[in-house]
């Protein structure tokens, strides 16, 4: 990769430049809406009473009832089926021909693996991909289908990185990290540029939705907030960088299972958590936040908060996306909707800050790389 010290600064202007560079190589993914899911998000999501330890019914704080109009950025329809194509294409666009000739290497559970493999094939250079042995079979097949040479490793970041070092020693390939590099952050942030522009058009009626009245609002204002999954943090920090100075609030979404909410816990403790070992069903976020993304995410002016949800809440949100919105996504992509629907802390924040007018909330559907077999196993015969 390019030396981080020579990279463009992490600013909105740099994201706009990255977007111009990769625009011919990526899809401008659609923005979808759902009046049904917006209605769910704007209604109380739990009972106001709970049976206490004494066996008596005890009152709980009233359930939040925010007003949210949800907009979904469908990166599941991006090339390779995930937002990762943006960062990979931008990273390679910043390398010289001499650097490219050496080939590239990375470690990834699947989406960045496929993205870098496609970008490398486009530039006619070799790609060496280190994948955890527990990676989803469909993601392994897709990566191999783009012509990559795959090496398998353990599931933790240190195990992946050890195999990457071996590959570099053997081949001389350049490392293209999955998230911890300015060029990756800037590339991923390009989705927010499109999201901001497209929702602004939609609420004014130019995209057809506002004309029906379901999502229009006085003054034709666009997004008030964006929620995105957070694993290594490349996308979340890229979105925060892209939307800096716009007034649009940025939030992160993580699973709570087995400590996968390292970014949330890091914000509470005041320091980055360098290691995560979780088998959450949201396999795209099983990695700790990188140092460069953390420099953005830990700034409260750039990221307003990170919220965690349970495995069951992820599954419920995933089911709603597929059955009500008719979109095919992987579990990681359901994190943002799960926060909007089920995280009472986030919902109270919206209720408090948005008031009766409510917010236009953007939800990033980060990818769609799963299979019917994996989904059947996830829900089981009883569901």
Q: Write the pLDDT tens digit of every residue in 264-312.
A: 999 999 999 999 989 999 988 988 999 999 999 999 999 999 999 999 9
For residues 103 and 174, what is the distance between their CA atoms, to the nearest angstrom?
Answer: 6
Same structural domain for residues 203 and 242?
yes
Residue 25 domain flag: no
Are 76 and 333 in contact by the 8 Å Cβ rule? The answer is yes
Residue 212 domain flag: yes
Residue 4 domain flag: no
Same structural domain for residues 170 and 264?
no
The residue among 341, 338, 327, 336 whose CA lies nearest residue 370 is 327
Same structural domain for residues 192 and 167?
no
Residue 338 domain flag: yes
Same structural domain for residues 230 and 331?
yes
- Residues near 204 by beta carbon (within 8 Å), at least 6 away in sequence: 210, 216, 220
| Top-confidence residue, 55 or 292 | 292
Q: Per residue in 140-164, pLDDT tens?
A: 898 999 999 999 999 777 888 899 9
Q: Is pLDDT at 50 greater than 80 in this prediction?
A: no
Q: Is pLDDT at 207 greater than 60 in this prediction?
A: no
Same structural domain for residues 283 and 299?
yes
Last residue of a domain, one of 179, 203, 223: 179
Beta bridge partners of 149: 128
Same structural domain for residues 116 and 44?
no
- Where is 338: in which H helix or E strand? helix 335-342
Query: pLDDT value at position 110?
Result: 78
> Phi-psi region for residue 25, left (φ > 0), alpha (ψ -120 to 50) or beta?
alpha
Residue 284 domain flag: yes
Query: pLDDT value at position 47?
Result: 52
Residue 233 domain flag: yes
Range of the domain at 248: 31-81+184-379
Rounded to 10 degrees, the C-alpha dihedral 58/61/63/64 comes to 180
**95-108 mean pLDDT:** 93
Same structural domain for residues 137 and 226?
no
**Domain count within the chain:** 2
Q: Per residue in 325-335, pLDDT tens?
A: 999 999 999 99
Same structural domain for residues 67 and 41?
yes
Same structural domain for residues 220 and 362?
yes
Judged by DSSP in three states, 363 sits in strand
Residue 316 domain flag: yes
Same structural domain for residues 116 and 188?
no
136 pLDDT tier (thresholds 50, 70, 90): confident
> Could you tell me the sign of the dihedral formed by the alpha carbons of 354, 307, 252, 30, in that order?
negative
CATH number, domain containing residue 168: 3.40.50.1100
Q: Is pLDDT at 365 greater than 90 in this prediction?
A: yes
Q: Is pLDDT at 57 greater than 50 in this prediction?
A: yes
382 pLDDT tier (thresholds 50, 70, 90): low
Q: Is pLDDT at 174 greater than 60 in this prediction?
A: yes
Same structural domain for residues 241 and 140?
no
Last residue of a domain, one of 162, 179, 196: 179
380 pLDDT tier (thresholds 50, 70, 90): confident
Residue 24 domain flag: no
Same structural domain for residues 294 and 194?
yes
> Phi-psi region for residue 277, left (φ > 0), alpha (ψ -120 to 50) or beta?
beta
Last residue of a domain, one of 154, 179, 204: 179
Are 136 and 283 in contact by the 8 Å Cβ rule? The answer is yes
For residues 301 and 249, what is the distance between their CA atoms, to the nearest angstrom?
Answer: 9
């Amino acid at each position: 990769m390019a030396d981080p010290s020579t990279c463009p600064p992490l600013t909105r202007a740099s994201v706009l430049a990255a977007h111009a560079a990769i625009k011919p190589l990526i899809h401008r993914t659609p923005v979808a809406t759902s009046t049904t899911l917006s209605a769910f998000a704007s209604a109380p999501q739990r009972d106001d009473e709970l049976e206490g330890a004494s066996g008596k019914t005890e009152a709980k704080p009233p359930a939040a009832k925010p007003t949210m109009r949800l907009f979904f950025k469908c990166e599941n329809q991006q090339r390779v089926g995930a937002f990762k194509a943006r960062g990979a294409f931008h990273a390679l666009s910043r390398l010289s021909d001499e650097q490219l000739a050496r080939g590239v290497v990375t470690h990834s559970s699947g989406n960045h693996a496929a993205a870098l493999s496609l970008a490398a094939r486009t530039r006619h250079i070799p790609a060496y991909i280190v994948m955890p042995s527990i990676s989803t079979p469909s993601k392994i097949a897709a990566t191999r289908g783009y012509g990559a040479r795959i090496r398998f490793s353990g599931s933790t970041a240190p195990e992946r990185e050890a195999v990457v070092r071996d590959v570099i020693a053997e081949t001389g390939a350049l490392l293209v990290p999955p998230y911890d590099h300015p060029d990756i952050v800037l590339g991923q942030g390009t989705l927010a540029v499109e999201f901001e522009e497209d929702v602004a058009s939609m609420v004014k009626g130019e995209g057809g939705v506002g004309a029906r009245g379901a999502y229009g609002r006085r003054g034709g204002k666009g997004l008030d907030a964006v929620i995105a999954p957070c694993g290594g943090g490349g996308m979340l920090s890229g979105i925060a960088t892209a939307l800096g100075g716009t007034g649009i609030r940025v939030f992160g979404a993580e699973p709570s299972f087995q400590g996968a909410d390292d970014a949330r816990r890091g914000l509470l403790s005041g320091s980055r958590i360098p290691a995560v070992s979780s088998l959450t069903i949201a396999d795209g976020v099983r990695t700790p936040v990188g140092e460069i993304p953390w420099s953005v995410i830990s700034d409260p002016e750039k990221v307003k908060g990170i919220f965690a949800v349970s495995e069951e809440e992820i599954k419920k949100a995933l089911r709603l996306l597929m059955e009500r919105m008719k979109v095919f996504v992987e579990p990681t992509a359901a994190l943002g909707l799960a926060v909007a629907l089920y995280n009472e802390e986030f919902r109270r924040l919206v209720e408090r800050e948005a008031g009766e007018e409510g917010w236009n909330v953007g939800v990033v559907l980060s990818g769609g790389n799963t299979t019917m077999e994996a989904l059947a196993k996830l829900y089981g015969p009883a569901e």
